[in-house]
A and B are shown apart, each in its own frame.
Chain A
């Protein structure tokens, strides 16, 4: 089955530690995205990538980093520089032909 997979679903980390969220898709989509969602809020774009080995900052990139070494994978690292990392993180992919985003199930990150 084609789809987009985020792992893990829940993640707990101590303050000051870096943590990497996984996102894999087998839809052969060129574009991939990371969004952050705080309780009761909308989606804010962190980073996006439209092609392998290239990515652009979104609206709230500070404290985050990404890589796009393979078309299928777009991992997000939440660094210790991110002041309020506790949030729900959504990964998505899309293709120009269809335009719409396909989403993973999300990762709930809690930093204690």
Chain B
């Protein structure tokens, strides 16, 4: 069975700093998707970034980028030039074709002024 592990329950960084959130997963599949979701205090789940496992190039979206290490089954999220609005819960997620989407337990990120 697939699992997703986020080892950092909570993190705090100063505004404008760079922060990296860790995620590891376990699967026997070769083709799959990985995601990072953000949940701000409004509790709306927002997709931050998406990575397809067959693509070697790391996905980027403005200040958000990932470090995808397929062999190590690692999928970390880097937030550059962090902003107060980045304060939220961040969830790593895994999905495979024709199967359920699995989420990690989340990392609560605080951006300090």
Contacts and interface: CB of A to CB of B under 8 A. Distances in A.
A103 B45 contact: yes
Interface residues of B, number: 22
Contacts of A66: none
Given A33-B100, A42-B106, A48-B100, A99 B43 contact: no
Contact of B98 (A33, A42, A45, A96): A96
Contacts of B45: 90, 92, 101, 103
Given A99-B50, A100-B35, A42 B105 contact: yes
A35 B103 CA distance: 10
A41 B105 contact: yes
Contacts of A40: 108
Interface stretch (B18-26, B60-68, B78-86, B89-97): B89-97
B98 A94 contact: no
A100 B47 contact: yes
Looking at B45, B50, B93, the one whose CB has the most chain A CB atoms below 10 A away is B45
Contacts of A50: 98
Interface string B12-49: 00000000000000000000110100000001110100
A79 B105 CA distance: 26
Given A58-B100, A94-B101, A101-B93, A106 B33 contact: no
A90 B106 CA distance: 15
B6 to A, nearest CB: 8
Interface of B: 32-33, 35, 43-45, 47, 50, 52, 91, 93, 95, 97-98, 100-106, 108
